[in-house]
Chains A and B, each alone.
Chain A
Amino acid sequence: MIPRYQRVILIVLLAASLAMAGILWHLRQRAHQRLLAGEDSAPTQAPEVAPAEQATLVAASDADGSLLAQDRSLPLPADPGARARVLLGKLLDLYAAPDAAHPVPGGAPGIAQVFLLPAPGPKDPQTPDAELAVVNLTGAFAASHPSGIETESLTVLSICATLRANLPRVTQVRFLVDGQPRPTLAGHADLTRTYLTADAVPTGGTTP
């Protein structure tokens, strides 16, 4: 026969562990909600209250394979990752416009997120705080991207050049599609490699 006091202790301990499990589950759910809310709150549209700033969009043209820098006045969020997302969204909006020089459907929603991380590899004394931008494209954007070496390369290069023009610390760019690595954008441009922004410079569209 188990003494009465031992039974009481057992019941109290059981109740306490159940209560703790409940609290843990609740906290986990709350953290998860917070994480999701955080993702959602990364603005695609810059809030109207943000002051307009000078920004540069480096837009591609299929006719001559050029990258043309265009200065714009845009309201931009302060956070660099959110800023990069807004800038690249504006670039894709140019491509989705009718009569675009580099037509690609989809526009701004094609950029799911942009993450900025310290650049891997040996530190360059010239740019000790170099960053790697990880551009997460949506599957819908990749699926609707026209297929071809030129068109796909120009999309990749203009994204790299736009990041370089506005976030000079970004020296490397990698691409994901729906958060996953993908061999090519639409059958041609290699998305498995790291692109160097130094290789993506505006040509100005002129051929001397």
Chain B
Amino acid sequence: MRWIERALACAALAALPAAAQQSPAAPSAHFVVVLDAAHGGTDPGGRLAGGQAEKAATLALSVRLRSLLAARGIAVVTTRESDTTLDPNSRAAIANHAKAQVCLSLHVSESGSGVHLFVSSLAPAQSSLFLPWKTAQAALVTRSLALAGALNASLQHAGLNVTLGRTSLPGLDSMTCPAVAVELAPERAQDGTVTAEPDDADYRAKAAAALAAAVLEFRLEPRQP
């Protein structure tokens, strides 16, 4: 993927002077992951082929991923544990309050194939003491691209088809943590026929395991400010 290579190269370049100016932040003793099951309550999201609403599928994925991470001793904060309505600002507020090192916004879709990873389309900006709410993610975009790189590698390693992109999502753009929107789409054969739906338990487990492995990998990566 061309954009991510370029972005990672930029990230590496940008990190050089920054690292010289300030001492690298010590690895947090408390590594926190925020899982945001998208939609919920009055917002059903999309609908899967089997009739399940996206809001239910994202919650199932969040629950699965939470238990995988918790089993490895990682602190997990979830934006919702039940079918409740949450606006994008509340989701970002939960994520920002948790001072998380990884934020994953989970979506499920019937379109496309494999796993779609989206990083905010905001242009990377210098971090400062005060960040404008709507574009707070701009200061973290470089780290978010690194997180997307780790997720991409792990998902591909698990044999899943990955598509990378940039987009503007209100909740994601306000998060002050390395944040990636993960959209689980059906697994498809070469000719486009669906081999596993996103509500297939085995397929969901495979994707969740690959995401959890990527988070563990990302925890060990040296942190940049």
Stretch with Cβ within 8 A of B (4 or more), from A1-9, A50-58, A122-130, A145-153:
A145-153
Interface contact A187-B43, CB-CB below 8 Å: yes
* B39, closest chain A residue (CB): A187
Any A CB within 8 A of the CB of B116: yes
| Contacts of A149-166 to chain B: CB distance below 8 A | 149-151, 153
Interface contact B163-A149, CB-CB below 8 Å: no
Smallest distance from the beta carbon of B57 to chain A beta carbons, Å?
Answer: 12
Chain A residues with Cβ below 8 Å from B1 are 207
Any A CB within 8 A of the CB of B124: no
Candidates A146, A193, A207; contact of B110 at CB < 8 Å = A146
A65-B112, A65-B163, A146-B111 given; A190·B118 CB < 8 A: no
* B164, closest chain A residue (CB): A65
| Contacts of B90-136 to chain A: CB distance below 8 A | 107, 109-113, 116, 118, 121
Candidates A147, A199, A208; contact of B54 at CB < 8 Å = A147
Cα–Cα distance between A39 and B143 once the two chains are bound (Å): 49
Chain A residues with Cβ below 8 Å from B188 are 63
Chain A residues with Cβ below 8 Å from B110 are 146-148
Cα–Cα distance between A153 and B163 once the two chains are bound (Å): 13
Cα–Cα distance between A199 and B183 once the two chains are bound (Å): 22
Max chain A CB contacts within 10 Å: which of B39, B107, B188? B107
A147-B54, A151-B109 given; A203·B167 CB < 8 A: no
Any B CB within 8 A of the CB of A189: yes
Interface contact B47-A147, CB-CB below 8 Å: yes
* A62, closest chain B residue (CB): B112
Interface contact B109-A149, CB-CB below 8 Å: yes
Chain A residues with Cβ below 8 Å from B118 are 149-150, 153
A63-B112, A188-B107, A193-B168 given; A149·B183 CB < 8 A: yes
Smallest distance from the beta carbon of A197 to chain B beta carbons, Å?
Answer: 13
Candidates B43, B167, B192; contact of A189 at CB < 8 Å = B167
A63-B113, A188-B107, A207-B2 given; A147·B46 CB < 8 A: yes
Interface contact B2-A150, CB-CB below 8 Å: no
Smallest distance from the beta carbon of A11 to chain B beta carbons, Å?
Answer: 64
Any A CB within 8 A of the CB of B19: no
Residues of B within 8 A of A (CB): 1-2, 39, 43, 45-47, 54, 107, 109-113, 116, 118, 121, 163-165, 167-170, 181, 183, 185, 188, 192
Residues of A within 8 A of B (CB): 62-65, 103, 146-151, 153, 186-190, 193, 199, 203, 207-208
Can you name 7 A-B pairs with beta carbons within 8 Å?
A147-B46, A147-B54, A149-B165, A150-B163, A151-B111, A153-B118, A187-B43
